[in-house]
Amino acid sequence: MWVKESRNPKFAKGIYVVADVGWRDHTVTSDESLLRPIPSFGDLSLSYALGVLGMPGMTAYFGLLEICQPKEGEVVLVNGAGGAVGSLVGQIAKLKGCKVIAFAGTEEKCRWLREDLKLDFVYNYKKVADQEKAIREAAPDRVDCFFDNVGGEAFTAGLCNMKILGRVSLCGAISIYNAKGEEVKGPYPNMLIISRELKVQGFIVYGWLPKWGDAIKEMIGWIQQCKVQTKETVTEGFENMRAAVYGLFR
């Protein structure tokens, strides 16, 4: 949003902010906590504030680098890999010298991940009969870092392939967001987590808000050096927002 009028010097007229104020074309607020001024992105698009240089980008950055702490030569598994978060996780993992196993749900996304982003093993989860087996074949020595966007059966498939002392970053569970309580039963992975000595950590990206500034600067550098690519899905028209959001779940 663009600040049209302001009596708060921290939010001067004319600056752009990301505003957590709901779906609206105008708003009046005195609650500073709802507004995040957009820093300078140089010659990059302002729209990146909603993607690679905003919440999804920071989710990938901190969820991978802070929780999984991938090291050169390690194996990183990411699902939802064609999405805003997952595609950045795969690329940052490659930047860190890791081997990446990725799952996405369309041939177009898989081609992009394989051919443009050069991820090592890419699978269309809608066509793979057994995700657990596919991961095992890609990483016979198992997985060091698992970034889970999907949850449910995809979570189990990843967890079963973890190395001892592996790190699991629980980012999302989009496969079960719409499930009713009864439909989400098990697994009960306690023994697996204990015996493989896994670190499993959920997170909410806003917990790292004080560190976003430095991360955004690093991400801008990666984009400018063509080390990170980003794609945007743009929906035109305020009246089409509802359809755009529902589209994420299909």
Ligand X SMILES: NC(=O)c1ccc[n+]([C@@H]2O[C@H](COP(=O)([O-])OP(=O)(O)OC[C@H]3O[C@@H](n4cnc5c(N)ncnc54)[C@H](OP(=O)(O)O)[C@@H]3O)[C@@H](O)[C@H]2O)c1
Question: Which positions lie near ligand X, rule CB under 6 A?
Answer: 55-56, 59, 80, 82-86, 104-106, 109, 125, 149-150, 171-172, 174-175, 203-205, 248-249
Q: State which residue, 38 or 150, has the beta carbon closest to ligand X.
A: 150
Shortest spacing between CB 84 and ligand X, in angstroms: 4
Centroid of chain to Cα 99: 18
Query: Least separation, in Å, of the C-beta of 177 and ligand X?
Result: 7
What residue type is assigned to position 110 of the chain? C
Q: Name beta bridge partners: 121.
A: 101
Q: What tokens appear for 154 in the block?
A: 């995809």
- Between the alpha carbon of residue 226 and those of residues 80, 111, 221, 230, the distances in Å are 22, 19, 9, 10
Phi first, then psi: what are they for 13, rounded to 5°?
A: -55, 135
Nearer to ligand X (CB atom), residue 86 or residue 163: 86
What is the spatial distance between Cα 173 and Cα 156, in angstroms, rounded to a whole number? 12
Residue in the shown chain whose Cβ atom is closest to ligand X:
83
* Minimum gap (Å) between residue 225 Cβ and ligand X: 23
Location of structure tokens 């010298």: 97
- CB nearer ligand X, residue 48 or residue 125: 125
- Supply the minimum distance, in Å, between the C-beta of residue 156 and ligand X: 13
CB nearer to ligand X: give 125 or 222: 125
